[in-house]
Structure 1
Amino acid sequence: MAMKISFYLNEQPTSIDCDPMQSLLHTLRNDIHQTATKEGCGEGECGACSVLLNGRLVNACMLPVAQAEGAQVMTLEGLKQTTKGQLVINALLEAKGVQCGFCTPGMVLALYALLEVNPSPDEHTIRTAISGNLCRCTGYGMIVEAAKIAAKKGEGVW
């Protein structure tokens, strides 16, 4: 049975009539057409579907859309419009931390979420923060370097 779910998507009020138990990922991709959020494993293991829910990194494939009621949801589409989001994206490009690009939206959100709470993370902290996001192309070294670049260039911003 469809139900109206209202939340803020990328800081914009959004309402949609849908099955409240369908995943937030399905709602974002298929109903609202925010396609930067990817479906990888569908089991909350790969991080391709990562979004920020009230500032916290979550796997949208595991979250019923009803849990987004009244919440702030941020996807890559919204994050890339922000100064901090651009900082992370540019750092990934500078470090050559993007190859096939499938994991990139989730990685950007994971790095952003990390830097929001720890603007000067060490390598171990960075690797721990991205451990829920699988990348089959880069070997993670370049992504870790991107986090360090974003932290350095973002001094005083975070």
Structure 2
Amino acid sequence: MKLMPRELDTKDRAILRHLLENGRLTTAELADRVGLSASPCWQRVRRLEADGFIDGYGARVDMELLGLRELAIVEVTLDRHDDETLEDFGQALADIPEVLEVYLTTGDYDYMIKVAVDGTRGYEEFLRSKLYKVKGIRHSRSSFVLRRLKSQQAFVPD
């Protein structure tokens, strides 16, 4: 269970916004953009990390250049909904590299899964050799992404 987060002030929020935009900013560059000197800025970043507001850093990779030209959204309904089935299904998906995101959802389907594949043949291979080998799937429905209109990891509310 997560603890209630502390209140963020405008400087903390500005730091988060700038790091979301460019996580490779140096402390000096970040400090300049948010109107702080380097040392207090560094201390704030470390506190944001320690408090869990920043939970990691990473690079955005061009999937097409890696040969994964298609994104598919797969909606899945499970046979059962007990804790063990949900845990096993979630762990099985976490172990499949092509699965980029998994959401437990409300509505007609239990899960929404974002998958990176190399075209329809790559998707068929993913279904046959990986997804359909996961126990407990009753039904699935797939859609291919035609174009990404927006992609961002998070946002910092005012």
Which TM-score applies when normalising by structure 2?
0.29
- Greater RCO between the two (CA within 8 Å, min separation 6)? 2
